[in-house]
């Protein structure tokens, strides 16, 4: 009985700490090797659906086995943080994915994960753990599903039935046992194919497969020092950085509500920048204006390349 009470108390502390730091959802799963995901990932890589993102071929064993990241790992804690904006860009200007409106989420959430671990250790005692936010070989959407936070939709995004998919996912792997949430077993996408039908480049395939090498986000962010293929001309729907089309058409995102994180608010003037203003921007101004923004990932040269490509659609 004492053990169960302790597990319940420890889990309550974990979840209350998550809420205190501004995370919208927290779920916990038991550590296990992800054998089914290993098969799917291997097939996806063999088909070249990662394009030039060769880093995805690295650390394969770490991606499917949390104990290789944290020796003695017992639990995987998944945190969701809303980034749905209260306002969007004006019509007719180069479009930017909403996740990039504010400060770089890597930096924002990384600091919160450090605080999460520190506060948890104050209550629970010392333990070993590591936090990750889209920057390490962790299959975070699988762990979110196993933690009961939602299902993985046809567009590859984690979808929460109450709030949609506009969430950043953070993962903590720890060597303490907790009470585990039931995995999310049902897929509520049903027969809906809106994301498949709406994808401008046909990157979303039947069978819950996303060809990353055809995604607009891949072309505008991940494709480095290369020209965008001519066959994609007139298919970007004016997206300059990333793409939200599959989320914008998803019925479950009708339940999305604006986030409460000040650092995710749009950078000054970002929602109104015209094509001409982007074109006239110097590299020095770009670096200063977007030094804390996800847009710096594409770099000045990448942004200018993307602008030139979507301008051909005019």
Residue 131 contacts residue 14 (beta carbons within 8 Å) = no
Q: d(Cα 285, Cα 304) in Å, to the nearest integer? A: 13
Continuous segment of H or E residues that includes residue 220: none
Q: d(Cα 143, Cα 76) in Å, to the nearest integer? A: 7
Strands 167-174 and 75-82: antiparallel
Q: d(Cα 146, Cα 125) in Å, to the nearest integer? A: 26
**Token pair listed for 136:** 């390490």
Residue 178 contacts residue 171 (beta carbons within 8 Å) = no
Outline where DSSP puts E strands in 41-193: 75-82, 95-96, 129-132, 151-152, 158-159, 167-174
- Provide the angle, in degrees to the nearest 10, between the axes of the packed helices 2-20 and 105-124: 150
Residue that the structure tokens 């950085």 belong to? 241
Continuous segment of H or E residues that includes residue 15: helix 2-20
Give me the residues paired with residue 168 across strands.
Answer: 81
Residue that the structure tokens 């602008």 belong to? 307
Among 24, 61, 65, 134, the active-site one is 134
Which residue in 62, 47, 4, 95 sits closest to 295, CA to CA?
95
Active site residue 12: no
Q: d(Cα 89, Cα 61) in Å, to the nearest integer? A: 41
- The residues annotated with a catalytic role in the active site are 134
């Amino acid at each position: 009985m004492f053990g169960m009470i302790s597990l319940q108390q420890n889990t309550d502390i974990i979840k209350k700490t998550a809420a205190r730091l501004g995370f919208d959802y927290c779920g916990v799963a038991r550590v296990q090797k992800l054998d089914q995901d290993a098969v799917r990932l291997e097939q996806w890589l063999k088909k070249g659906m990662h394009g030039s993102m060769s880093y995805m071929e690295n650390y394969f064993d770490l991606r499917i086995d949390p104990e290789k990241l944290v020796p003695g790992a017992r639990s995987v804690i998944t945190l969701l943080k809303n980034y749905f904006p209260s306002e969007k860009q004006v019509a007719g200007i180069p479009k930017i994915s909403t996740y990039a409106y504010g400060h770089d989420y890597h930096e924002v959430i990384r600091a919160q994960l450090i605080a999460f671990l520190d506060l948890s250790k104050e209550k629970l005692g010392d333990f070993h753990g590591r936090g990750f936010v889209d920057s390490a070989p962790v299959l975070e959407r699988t762990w979110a599903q196993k933690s009961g936070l939602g299902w993985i939709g046809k567009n590859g995004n984690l979808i929460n039935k109450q709030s949609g998919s506009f969430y950043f996912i953070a993962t903590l792997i720890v060597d303490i046992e907790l009470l585990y949430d039931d995995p999310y077993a049902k897929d509520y996408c049903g027969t809906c194919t809106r994301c498949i039908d709406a994808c401008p480049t046909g990157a979303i395939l039947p069978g819950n497969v996303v060809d990353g090498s055809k995604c607009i986000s891949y072309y505008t962010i991940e494709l480095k020092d290369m020209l965008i293929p001519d066959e994609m001309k007139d298919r970007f729907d004016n997206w300059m950085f990333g793409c939200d089309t599959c989320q914008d058409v998803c019925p479950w995102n009708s339940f999305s509500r604006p986030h409460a994180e000040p650092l995710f608010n749009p950078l000054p003037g970002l929602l109104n920048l015209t094509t001409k203003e982007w074109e006239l921007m110097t590299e020095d101004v770009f670096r200063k204006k977007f030094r804390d923004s996800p847009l710096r990932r594409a770099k000045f040269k990448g942004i200018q390349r993307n602008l030139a490509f979507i301008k051909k659609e005019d």
